[in-house]
């Protein structure tokens, strides 16, 4: 059976966001999960102190690497993904705040459908995967544990997205091996390179799915660098229309409304821990083991 995914966090320059990200990662991820903090020479002195303190106390099996000089966001991530080999990798934005149970729910999504190449959780700033309104940036939720419990009660249908979204995405290693790496020559941002990778997955018959049973919050959306969207339009002429049609027709409206209803009806917060424990047991049964080797 497959090992649990490696959580890959490309370290950024926002120290406060990184601190919040690592705290939520430690609190909401199963103990022993492999985590790789990959620093493209971005963290400053305070960021390095935050990382060092977190490494000293985390329950996770964590490693930290730092380049001597920046290599660029896409090239840096491509090198890290290649270093993970055929393992499934959960790329988490360094300014994202994962809700409890996020990694277990994403792993369960992969276990349900072997055709899924990317699984993206809900986000308050996630474009096509946004909740409560599609394509809008909303404030970070006040009660992530309650929201996570509501997500876990959603039926796991895993509908199609136009592409994976960069707040958090689980990438299937076997699919990545077939599609090739990230295109650092054509794109400067992870935002655009992930869209390109998602389109290549779709062209090979894989699915880019929403994991509606998981939530990862973020302070704001990621975005492209100069020239990235032009490069996408040249390679994938139908992309902009595909995304526009998705946002206008809003095929996930019923799912978002159902999540909103579940959240409104949730009245027993003391059931959260039992629910998360049960979800964790189910995922471990589907894909046991955390591996002993560093990523």
Could you read off the pLDDT tens digit of each residue along the chain, which spans 295 residues? 457 899 999 999 999 999 999 999 999 999 999 999 999 999 999 999 999 999 999 999 999 999 999 999 999 999 999 999 999 999 999 999 999 999 999 999 999 999 999 999 999 998 999 999 999 999 999 999 999 999 999 999 999 999 999 999 999 999 999 999 999 999 999 999 999 999 999 999 999 999 999 999 999 988 999 999 999 999 999 999 999 999 999 999 999 999 999 999 985 555 545 555 554 554 444 333 343 444 4
Report the C-alpha gap between 73 and 274 in whole angstroms: 39
User: Is 45 within the bounds of a domain?
Assistant: no
User: Is 33 within the bounds of a domain?
Assistant: no
User: Is 95 within the bounds of a domain?
Assistant: yes
Number of C-beta neighbours around residue 36 at 10 A: 20
- Selection from 9, 86, 79, 4 nearest residue 42 by Cα: 9
User: Is 192 within the bounds of a domain?
Assistant: yes
- Selection from 126, 67, 68 nearest residue 97 by Cα: 126
Both tokens of 208, joined, read: 């880019």
The boundaries of the domain holding residue 97 are: 86-286
Helix (H) or strand (E) holding 51: helix 45-57
**Number of domains observed in the structure of the chain:** 1
User: Is 219 within the bounds of a domain?
Assistant: yes
């Amino acid at each position: 059976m497959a090992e649990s995914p490696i959580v890959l966090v490309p370290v950024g320059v926002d120290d406060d966001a990184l601190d919040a990200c690592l705290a939520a990662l430690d609190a909401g991820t199963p103990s022993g999960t492999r985590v790789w903090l990959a620093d493209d020479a971005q963290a400053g002195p305070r960021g390095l102190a935050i990382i060092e303190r977190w490494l000293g106390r985390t329950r996770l099996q964590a490693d930290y690497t730092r380049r001597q000089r920046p290599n660029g966001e896409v090239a840096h991530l491509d090198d890290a993904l290649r270093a993970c080999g055929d393992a499934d990798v959960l790329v988490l934005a360094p300014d994202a705040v994962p809700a409890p149970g996020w990694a277990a729910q994403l792993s369960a999504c992969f276990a349900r459908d072997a055709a899924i190449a990317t699984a993206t959780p809900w986000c308050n700033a996630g474009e096509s995967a946004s909740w409560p309104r599609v394509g809008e940036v909303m404030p970070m939720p006040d009660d992530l544990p309650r929201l996570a419990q509501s997500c876990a009660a959603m039926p796991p249908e895993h509908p199609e997205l136009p592409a994976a979204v960069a707040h958090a995405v689980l990438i299937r290693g076997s699919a990545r091996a077939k599609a090739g790496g990230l295109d650092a020559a054509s794109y400067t941002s992870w935002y655009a390179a992930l869209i390109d990778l998602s389109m290549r997955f779709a062209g090979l018959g894989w699915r880019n799915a929403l994991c509606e049973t998981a939530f990862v919050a973020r302070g704001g959306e990621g975005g492209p660098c100069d020239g990235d969207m032009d490069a996408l339009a040249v390679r994938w002429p139908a992309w902009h229309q595909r995304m526009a049609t998705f946002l206008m027709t809003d095929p996930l409206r019923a799912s978002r409304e159902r999540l909103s209803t579940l959240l409104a009806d949730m009245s027993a917060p003391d059931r959260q821990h039992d629910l998360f424990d049960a979800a964790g047991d189910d995922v471990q049964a589907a894909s046991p083991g955390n591996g002993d080797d560093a990523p």
